Structure 1
Amino acid sequence: MTKATYLPAAAGLALCATGALAETPVLQVYTYDSFTTEWGPGPAVEAAFEETCACDLQFVNAGDGAALLARLQLEGPRTEADIVLGLDTNLTAAARETGLFAPHGVTADLDLPIGWEDPDFLPFDWGYFAFVGNAGAAAPANMPELAASDAKIVIQDPRSSTPGLGLLMWVKAAYGDEAPSIWADLADNIVTVTPGWSEAYGLFLDGEADAVLSYTTSPAYHLIAEEDASKVAWAFDEGHYMQVEVAGKVAGTDQPALADAFLAFMVSDTFQSVIPTTNWMYPAATPEAGLPEGFETLITPEKSLLMTADEAAAARDTALDEWRTALSQ
């Protein structure tokens, strides 16, 4: 073959390769930042799903959990998201009101402490909020004791973070009309309010606070990944607020079959077995291998607190006003 005939053939091969790449379907999943870090579930989930889907799974960072909903509300029907992963039951009522979600159609054998019948949002993990501090330090037994102590804490902004919003619901569910006075008393314990969980937890690890709003499962990370038993979750006698994290299919997706396949994959053993030691939460469907060694050391709340999605939506604005008023004094 002469050089003159070889070049067009090579160009044709290049065009074919480019065309093949262009035909690879893309599934965009909006999620929170910590999910996609190298130590989060994202990399393992991406690799495992792409082995089954002949697609390009792309995670798109959208801040912390509550920021996911804000971004979706801003983008509206123009959103490029196919799946939104990382909302929770404090946000699902508002998410449903956008009209942007379609029924997931997945039937799964879930292992949650509560019944689950939501047609639009499918759980992928769950846990309990808690303040995490250092072992050996004095630990308050409830919110009033925390407020009366000298403990310095870091919390997350409820307008951008699901843990931050969860704390508002925790105080409201446990103390009702007394919530404003609880916040007024807690205000001088709060060192700072961060946009998301990662920033807050980092400040705690750097010694900037005595405790951080996190989860009862957070000490498992230190114990299992670092062989460090120096972090503990404080057990509060008023109970701990539960978080159930969910994903939903965007109604306007141009990849409906892929979106359905991803949601079905999300509750599979492959996905769920990744959750305990990457997202450091309880899986929504217990893996065949069970929970990793070390999870048995975690505290189990004596009382679970959880508002329904509609109750949380109704309480959110009042709880947010109470929080803002206390912290502005």
Structure 2
Amino acid sequence: MRHLFLATGLLAATQAVAQDSPVLTIYTYDSFVSDWGPGPQIKEAFEETCACTLQFVGAGDGAALLARLRLEGARTQADIVLGLDTNLTAAARDTGLFAPHGVQADFDLPVAWQDDMFLPFDWGYFAFVAGAEVEAPTDFRALGESGTSIVIQDPRSSTPGLGLLMWVKAAYGDQAGEIWEGMADNIVTVTPGWSEAYGLFLEGEADMVLSYTTSPAYHLIAEDDASKRAIPFSEGHYMQVEVAAKLAGTDHPDLADQFLQFMLTDAFQSVIPTTNWMYPAVTPEGGLPDGFDTLITPGKALLLDPEQARALRDDAIAEWQAALTR
């Protein structure tokens, strides 16, 4: 009986500690929290420093995060959102749901960063990825004139999908609709998010998939497979800068601030290249892993500022939909 009382007491104490431990809830995209994504390692590393429980909640792809937050409004359980990008930050700011971060940092980004609300954690360039055997076109017009099949993501739910629309818009302006009309027949399918699209590509359902210039590094480093390549486009490549921000209504503002500071440390940033397969916002102490030096460097970097991206978004989606429904 003494052992029973002791065990019962230990259980009660453990439950009490668990109840007293704050839970920091972070909404992010599905691939971030997958077994092979950065989420598990980051959760373990942060929990060693915070006396808390870090809870990641996958919410589809990046653009779906903003839609969910708009739906939940001030009732959201999220303390932090991680996975929006600069194509969405202006619209996210307008919700009034976010608070300034107050973080000062020196970022290793190709662009100057001055945003008091959204904090970058990684970046990259969108690109079409193909197998070595594919004779891939190297610009959007040539793609539309070719028989090359592609898989892309839905711009209404996916940040890569929206990034592709901004890429075409930044490169072609008022001619973007014409470019989409040319590419409509090349599109095998449009998926809700990046994971589904890349999976179809790996299964051989299309010649190319919309992804990143860094995607071949995964195959090279994780699989010792050099057969995948990002195709350099003569128009240049559109940049993506992924960000995190804390919710103004968080129940744990100090803990949220602690995570945002942690996000820029080596413990977080060193995980990004070989789990999220992007460039870190702050270069890790050991530099980038071997294999990243084999990646293409775009001859021209394209990026619309957040206000431009918001202003163009609805028209760009309408052009895309019109071309695909003809």
TM-score where L is the length of structure 2:
0.98
Aligned match of 2:144: 147
CA deviations 1:127-168 (Å, max 9, x no partner) are: 000000011321211000011110000000000000000000
1:18 Cα offset (Å) = 1.8
Letter in 2 for 1:300: T
Structure-2 change in CA distance of 1:35 and 1:6 (3 Å) = closer
Aligned match of 1:276: 273
Larger Rg: 1
The whole-number CA distance in structure 2 between the counterparts of 1:278 and 1:124 is 13
The whole-number CA distance in structure 2 between the counterparts of 1:17 and 1:223 is 45
Unmatched tracts of structure 2, length 5 or more: none
1:288 Cα offset (Å) = 1.0
Alignment of 1:16-95 (within 5 A): 16-95=13-92
**Partner SS for 1:254:** coil
The whole-number CA distance in structure 1 between the counterparts of 2:224 and 2:13 is 51
The whole-number CA distance in structure 2 between the counterparts of 1:129 and 1:55 is 36
Aligned match of 1:245: 242
**Partner SS for 1:86:** strand
1:270 Cα offset (Å) = 1.1
1:213 alignment partner, one of 210, 215, 218: 210
TM-score where L is the length of structure 1:
0.97
**Partner SS for 2:251:** coil
Unmatched tracts of structure 1, length 5 or more: none
Letter in 2 for 1:137: V
1:315 Cα offset (Å) = 0.2
Letter in 2 for 1:220: A
1:8 Cα offset (Å) = 6.2
The runs of at least 4 consecutive aligned structure 1 residues that moved more than 6 Å come to 5-9
Structure-2 change in CA distance of 1:139 and 1:54 (3 Å) = same
Structure-2 change in CA distance of 1:10 and 1:151 (3 Å) = closer
1:110 alignment partner, one of 107, 115, 129: 107
2:227 alignment partner, one of 218, 225, 230: 230
1:324 alignment partner, one of 315, 321, 324: 321
The whole-number CA distance in structure 1 between the counterparts of 2:10 and 2:111 is 56
Letter in 2 for 1:90: N
**Partner SS for 2:157:** coil
The alignment of Structure 1 onto Structure 2 pairs a total of residues equal to 326
The whole-number CA distance in structure 1 between the counterparts of 2:10 and 2:139 is 68
- Structure 1 position 308 matched with structure 2 position 287: no
Aligned match of 2:178: 181
Letter in 2 for 1:203: L
1:17 Cα offset (Å) = 2.7
- Structure 1 position 262 matched with structure 2 position 227: no
The RMSD of aligned alpha carbons is 1.2
The whole-number CA distance in structure 2 between the counterparts of 1:103 and 1:264 is 13
Letter in 1 for 2:138: A
Letter in 2 for 1:99: G
Letter in 1 for 2:102: G
Aligned match of 2:116: 119
Identity across aligned pairs (percent)?
A: 71
Letter in 1 for 2:50: C
1:108 Cα offset (Å) = 1.2
Structure-2 change in CA distance of 1:181 and 1:51 (3 Å) = same
- Structure 1 position 135 matched with structure 2 position 132: yes
Letter in 2 for 1:284: A
1:7 Cα offset (Å) = 6.2
The whole-number CA distance in structure 1 between the counterparts of 2:269 and 2:234 is 30
Aligned match of 2:97: 100
- Structure 1 position 204 matched with structure 2 position 206: no
Letter in 2 for 1:254: D
